């Protein structure tokens, strides 16, 4: 693919999203949220890809995946009024339907199209399949890291600003009580990513987001997490208990270990 293709995709994306704009401020806010998220994920993935010394074609492909990874979000919010896949439908699958129905990727080679489709399909699964093709695996891991970096950016800003503007869509309508579920604490202490189906409170969601650290793939991503103080910012939004202190120390140790580990990943 060439630079003209990425420019074409960006312009198509802008127009596509504009067709969802509405006068209703509650809906408009969420359409804009995902539009801005997408554009920042494009920036994140390029930064990460460059840190990993990817070639120009791989960078363009990564940017295309970032641009389209959440394309299903707009239809999802319009139809169901939520970003919660559990009560609507899988937004990655929905996105693939949009991309295939519009045949927007037809200017790419068949191989490139497969990489884009598969990386989008795998961007929100619990684990990228072990038997995935190496290039598909690389691109799936890139979008997963870049996507998480931006969700962390969005939620850490939200946790500090929340007292001013609430957005129930960002809280998945979970109750904001002091409780949290111990399974999330145990998952973190065992370096496991938790299951979103266990979410019961808003605090659980913060714990789930902390546990994404165990799903990060590349050394530069770990460095960005440390530079941006992601762990500290989410911990601040949780109650000050012994459990939380324990996971805080555990996560910080894990992060330091992953950063100092000799790595050929950049």
Q: Does 70 bind Fe ion (CB under 5 A)?
A: yes
Q: Least CB distance from residue 218 to Fe ion, whole Å?
A: 17
Nearer to Fe ion, 94 or 185 (CB): 94
Q: Least CB distance from residue 77 to Fe ion, whole Å?
A: 13
Supply 18's token pair: 């504009």
Nearer to Fe ion, 70 or 85 (CB): 70
Scanning 10-18, 20-28, 68-76, 205-213 for contacts with Fe ion by CB under 5 A, the matching segment is 68-76
Q: Least CB distance from residue 113 to Fe ion, whole Å?
A: 20
Q: Does 63 bind Fe ion (CB under 5 A)?
A: no
Q: Least CB distance from residue 248 to Fe ion, whole Å?
A: 26
Whole-angstrom Cα distance, residue 256 to residue 263?
13
Q: Least CB distance from residue 144 to Fe ion, whole Å?
A: 9
Scanning 7-15, 55-63, 64-72, 133-141 for contacts with Fe ion by CB under 5 A, the matching segment is 64-72
Query: In sequence order, what are the residues at sequence separation of 6 or more whose Cβ sits closer than 8 angstroms to the Cβ of residue 220?
Result: 47, 48, 51, 52, 265, 266
Scanning 57-65, 66-74, 112-120, 197-205 for contacts with Fe ion by CB under 5 A, the matching segment is 66-74
Q: Which of 44, 112, 137, 147 binds Fe ion (CB under 5 A)?
A: 147
Q: CB atoms < 10 A from the CB of 162, how many? A: 16
Alpha carbon separation from 184 to 54, 126, 187, 245 (Å, rounded): 35, 15, 5, 14
Scanning 69-77, 113-121, 133-141, 239-247 for contacts with Fe ion by CB under 5 A, the matching segment is 69-77
Q: Please give the residues from 165 up to 184 whose contact with Fe ion meets the rule CB under 5 A.
A: none
Q: What number of chain residues touch Fe ion (CB under 5 A)?
A: 2
Nearer to Fe ion, 34 or 206 (CB): 34
Nearer to Fe ion, 70 or 112 (CB): 70
Query: What are the residues binding Fe ion (CB under 5 A)?
Result: 70, 147
């Amino acid at each position: 693919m060439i630079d003209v293709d990425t420019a074409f995709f960006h312009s198509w994306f802008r127009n596509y999203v504009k067709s969802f704009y509405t006068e209703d401020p509650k809906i408009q806010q969420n359409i804009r949220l995902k539009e801005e998220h997408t554009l920042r994920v494009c920036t994140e993935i390029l930064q990460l890809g460059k840190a990993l010394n990817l070639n120009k074609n791989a960078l363009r492909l990564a940017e295309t995946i970032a641009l389209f990874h959440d394309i299903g979000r707009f239809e999802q919010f319009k139809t169901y009024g939520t970003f919660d896949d559990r009560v609507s439908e899988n937004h990655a699958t929905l996105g693939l339907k949009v991309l295939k129905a519009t045949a927007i990727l037809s200017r790419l080679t068949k191989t490139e199209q497969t990489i884009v489709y598969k990386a989008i399909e795998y961007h929100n699964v619990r684990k990228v399949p072990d038997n995935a093709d190496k290039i598909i695996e690389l691109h799936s891991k890139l979008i997963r890291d870049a996507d998480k970096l931006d969700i962390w950016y969005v939620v850490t800003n939200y946790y500090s600003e929340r007292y001013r503007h609430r957005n129930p869509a960002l809280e998945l309508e979970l109750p904001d009580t002091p409780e949290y579920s111990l399974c999330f604490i145990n998952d973190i202490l065992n370096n496991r990513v938790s299951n979103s189906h266990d979410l019961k409170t808003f605090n659980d969601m913060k714990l789930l987001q902390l546990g994404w650290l165990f799903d990060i793939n590349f050394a530069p991503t770990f460095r960005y997490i440390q530079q941006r103080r992601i762990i500290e910012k989410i911990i601040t939004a949780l109650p000050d208990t012994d459990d939380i202190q324990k996971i805080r120390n555990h996560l910080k140790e894990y992060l330091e270990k992953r950063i100092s580990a000799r790595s050929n990943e950049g």
